[in-house]
Structure 1
Amino acid sequence: MKKIFSTLALSAIAVTAVSCSDDDKPAPTEQKQLLGKWNYIEELALDVNGNMVSTDSGENGVCPLDIYDFLSNGSLQHTDYDYSTNSNACSNQILSGTWSINANTFTLKNEFTGEEGEAFEIKKLNNDSFEIQQTLSREDAGNYELNVVSLKYIFKKVK
């Protein structure tokens, strides 16, 4: 399940680089709040009424939590740690992509999402917490049980 999220989230977080306008307007508050490193905490599978029907923790055993580093130029570096119960076996891979925010839509583009990327609805974004939600296609929903129609991803700011 963690790899499904990594694929979806990374693909959704990596959309078009943020560009500066000719008049160098400051970045919207939402973009400024997202800058920095965030830990992936969990994925919530939701039914049509928004009720949580299952959850998948971002827990990696004794290895660090996955880190998403949102940079001011619209690029993303994702450190994806493997799960292990042996601290000597903790390994990771660095994935990259691009991200953007437009109103309450967060878009991610990377090697998994392709040229168009994936869009998520921003449910919460403040200095400590970032939550995005994505409605599943009928095909993707078939990979889940219990009438799951959307996934919510929860991140916490790295202190």
Structure 2
Amino acid sequence: MENTFRDQIKLLSRMLFTFFFLFLILIGGLFYLIDNPETFESSKTDSLQDVTEADDKVENTIDLANGFIDDEGMEATIQNCTGCHSAQLVTQNRMSREGWKATIKWMQETQNLWDLGANEELILTYLSKNYAPTKKGRRQNLENIEWYELE
């Protein structure tokens, strides 16, 4: 019985020491921030500046802020699609105009997508132009190959 009590006291003292040590680190960090507020402020403004620069940047016709192809109708598509899901969910798909229209209709019937109104035509044109199916088939036959036999 006495051993258990001593073990509990040791455990409690270790826990108190750990708590006190972590408390001192927290207090030290707070005093550092109070004495050096520019450290915290500059890191905030740097990250905000990076985000702002990415918002306006387009490389190889891709809008860097969201991954959409920069073309007429992109803004309407972003406003109506990315409110519910990521931009990548749109950009990874390839569908015909009818496929995109059916997907929009399905989302309206089952996922509570709002009526797109006049934007629907603009969005369908944008998606069917920039995210249409790509023709993929077998590779072309190899020709003029000198075959050899393994020994």
TM-score (norm 1): 0.19
Q: Which has the larger radius of gyration?
A: 2
More strand by share: 1
TM-score (norm 2): 0.19
Higher normalized helix content (fraction of residues): 2
